[in-house]
Structure 1
Amino acid sequence: MLRTWVAVLTALVAVGATPTRSMATPGEVAPPSRVSATDVQTVGDGSRASCTSAAVVRAVHRGGVIRFACGPRPVTITMRRTAKVSNTSRRVVIDGGGLVTLSGMGKRRILYQNTCDPKQTWTTSHCDDQAYPRLVLRNLTFARGNATGQRYDGGGGGAVFVRGGQLKIVGSTFVANRCDRRGPDLGGAAVRVLDQYRDRAVQVVGSTFKNGTCSNGGALSSIGVSWRIQDSTFVGNRAVGRGANPARPGTRGGGSGGAIYLDGNRFTLSLIRTTVRGNVANEGGGAVFFVSNDRTGTMLIRRSRLVRNPSRGFETQGLPGIFFLGARPPTIIRSEVR
């Protein structure tokens, strides 16, 4: 699958990413400048009824710091369209204040950013490695996102799909999101990430991922991308594909990484003060599937608990719930893995 295309991807900084249609764009625009980091916009006028899908879509497209005024009580905004980040935005911060749920209603992906998608505006000739947009998701809940059938740049990302720029997730909850149930390399029921700026790690802080379902990566999935995850929880996520990667004959592939599915060449995973419990993989890695194809990738588990994450197909001996191929065995410090 994507792994077999390495020769095509040697021009990319993040090896293992999905190929783009073209790295050069006619009529290239100047670097992003339309939205400054201090721009603030508000979704809603203080009433629940004013907080609509259309208002969220407009705000995300404009960029800047996005806050919500939907009243004092928790509110669920049913997304009738996917909110898409414009690549002309330097920074997009979506802050739900702990009261806002964005729901895909089980019908659609909730949020999309892709610096290599010309429909969102190409801003450089190196879309696979650009600093912007910087996307921050803070104090939000993403529920019932569904990317089934979305195959652009490989698909996946039931709630959130990000390619390019930089991503940070803080204090957010992802629940009951899903993507395609079959396929050898697609994944990320909650979040799918490709091509981060200068191979910087995606940061996940104080967040929860529950009850996600996808072919691979019942919560998170990426190719050639590093992650630093701290003070977070993964519970009840499932990788439901069958046939692994590459797909066994007679299968459609998938089934690895009950919670987390990572593939590519040089990348890292750090789990710090994080709980991964009760996730399931039909194939490898009930908790974590980690394959560094050139064996340069590394994994750190510090002050974390990875417990009761069955791998129904295969896992690395001595590492319950983990399938790992990397530079050296995972570094495990003051952690429980069983």
Structure 2
Amino acid sequence: MTRAGAVAAAVLAALAGLLAPATASAVEARAETRARIDAPATRQADTVVGSGTPASCTSRAVVRAVARGGVIAFDCGPQPVTIAMKKTAKVVNTSAKVVLDGGGLVTLSGQGQRRILYMNTCDRAQVWTTSHCNDQAEPRLVVRRMRFVDGDATGETTDGGGGGAIFVRGGRLRIVDSQFAGNRCDPTGPDLGGGAVRVLDQHRDRPVVVRRSSFTGGRCSNGSALSSIGVSWRVVSSTFTDNRAVGRGANPARPGTPGGGSGGAIYLDGDAIHLTVEDSTISGNHAREGGGAIFFVSNDRTGTLTVRGSTLTDNPSEGFETIPGVFFLGASRTITDSVVR
């Protein structure tokens, strides 16, 4: 072997020695990550609702677990289970985090009678922790691998109502791998909304994140899937179908009307707000007034709407829209690699 060949062989051998452990470590790291993802939620839980049977998973147990806080998992048996909520589960504001992980098997039902989940950092009844309640960092509420059905916030008046499945003010909210179906809030009102989810205020104006989730069959005056005031959102790989804004008269309400009817699926109002919709489908929603799919109003005209890699189709607006299915008033609207019609 020539001297040059010997040097090359030595370099290759050294590289092989360096790369082999790194490659093995990377494989082990990926395996460990996958194991954590696939592991039963109960292994990482602070509280487990149920003891292995559907009957052991009760509304009372859910309410107590949410009030206690931490990571909450469910052990209701191997088959899907629906828990009929007899009371609204409420987050206590001294909790640093509240994570509900249903493992893809748990449905919480409001039975068409009540809101399902509530967090409000400005509600003294849930413990007042700071005078800056609108902008506190905690609690951090996460729902993942859950299903919320038949929640109803009709008649709720605290902070304007809304949020048939989930109502949040303050802290942080994140929704992952979850489904919402048949949720309701009041059918009239110019700025009331959130058949499924209503949000007011988030810590440091950070966006609510929604990933790989679905919203179907919501009914409310406005925003029958998602609704907020002064809040930004990032919606990724999610679907919205058959949500209807059933109010009448828009906002501000026309004379002789109760107001509402905008944002069949999504209703956002505020100032410096931003909405990103990515790799998502919004189809078959409806508004009696504006924005069959999305209603977006930035009052100070600084807000932005970004739609990437998404499909927005068949979302009629009976009253008004900027482009098919969307009413937008803000600084800029960017739509790329998407179908809007």
User: What TM-score range do you get, normalising by the shorter chain?
Assistant: 0.7 to 0.9
Q: Does 1:149 align with 2:155?
A: yes
Identity of aligned residues (%): 69
Q: Which residue of 2 aligns with 1:81?
A: 87
**Structure 2 unmatched runs, 5+:** 1-43
Q: Give, in whole Å, the separation in 2 of the partners of 1:158 and 1:77.
A: 16
Aligned match of 1:238 in 230, 234, 244?
A: 244
CA RMSD of aligned residues (A): 0.7
How do residues 295-334 of structure 1 correspond to structure 2 at under 5 angstroms? 295-316=301-322, 319-328=323-332, 330-334=333-337
Q: Give, in whole Å, the separation in 1 of the partners of 2:191 and 2:305.
A: 20
Q: Which residue of 2 aligns with 1:335?
A: 338
**Structure 1 unmatched runs, 5+:** 1-37
Return the letter of the residue paired with 1:285.
G
How do residues 82-161 of structure 1 correspond to structure 2 at under 5 angstroms? 82-161=88-167
Structure 1 segments of 4 or more deviating over 3 A?
A: none
Q: Classify the secondary structure of the residue corresponding to 2:312.
A: strand
Deviations 1:176-203 (A, max 9, x none): 0000000000100000001100000000
How do residues 45-60 of structure 1 correspond to structure 2 at under 5 angstroms? 45-60=51-66
Return the letter of the residue paired with 2:335.
I
Q: Give, in whole Å, the separation in 1 of the partners of 2:202 and 2:106.
A: 27
Q: Give, in whole Å, the separation in 1 of the partners of 2:201 and 2:234.
A: 15
User: How does the TM-score come out when normalised to structure 2?
Assistant: 0.87
Q: Which residue of 2 aligns with 1:194?
A: 200
From the CA coordinates, give the structure whose radius of gyration is larger. Answer: 2
Q: Give, in whole Å, the separation in 2 of the partners of 1:151 and 1:186.
A: 10
Return the letter of the residue paired with 2:54.
R
Q: Give, in whole Å, the separation in 2 of the partners of 1:104 and 1:41.
A: 22
Q: Classify the secondary structure of the residue corresponding to 2:73.
A: strand
Q: Give, in whole Å, the separation in 1 of the partners of 2:113 and 2:130.
A: 33
Q: Classify the secondary structure of the residue corresponding to 2:133.
A: coil
Return the letter of the residue paired with 1:64.
G
Deviations 1:229-270 (A, max 9, x none): 000000000000000000000000000000000000001000
Q: Give, in whole Å, the separation in 2 of the partners of 1:124 and 1:116.
A: 9
Q: Give, in whole Å, the separation in 2 of the partners of 1:116 and 1:167.
A: 15
Aligned residues: 298
User: How does the TM-score come out when normalised to structure 1?
Assistant: 0.88
Aligned match of 2:257 in 237, 251, 257?
A: 251
